[in-house]
Amino acid sequence: MRSTIDIDENLIREAMKLTNARTKKNVVRISLENLIRQKRRERLKGKLGKYPLELTPAALEKMRGAD
């Protein structure tokens, strides 16, 4: 879908540096994907309450071995 939007050039430049994106189109795609991922996590966390979602692989293995 083609869209014309006005985006602060400094924000685009900084986002491109941080993500190593080569084009504006790519940095917008990366940014939108990350925003969607973040909001989905927030929604899931809200539904689960205060259960810790930040588990490391080592912690998961320890939990699996606790049977």
34-53 residue pLDDT tens: 999 999 988 887 777 666 66
3-state secondary structure of 48: helix
Q: Tell me, what DSSP letter sits at residue 23?
A: S
CA distances in angstroms from 32 to 35, 59, 66, listed in the order given: 5, 30, 39
Cβ-in-10-Å burial (0-12, 13-18, 19+) of 41 comes to: exposed
Which of the residues in the chain have pLDDT under 50?
none
Q: Do you know the residue count of the chain?
A: 67
Q: Is the pTM of this model over 0.75?
A: no
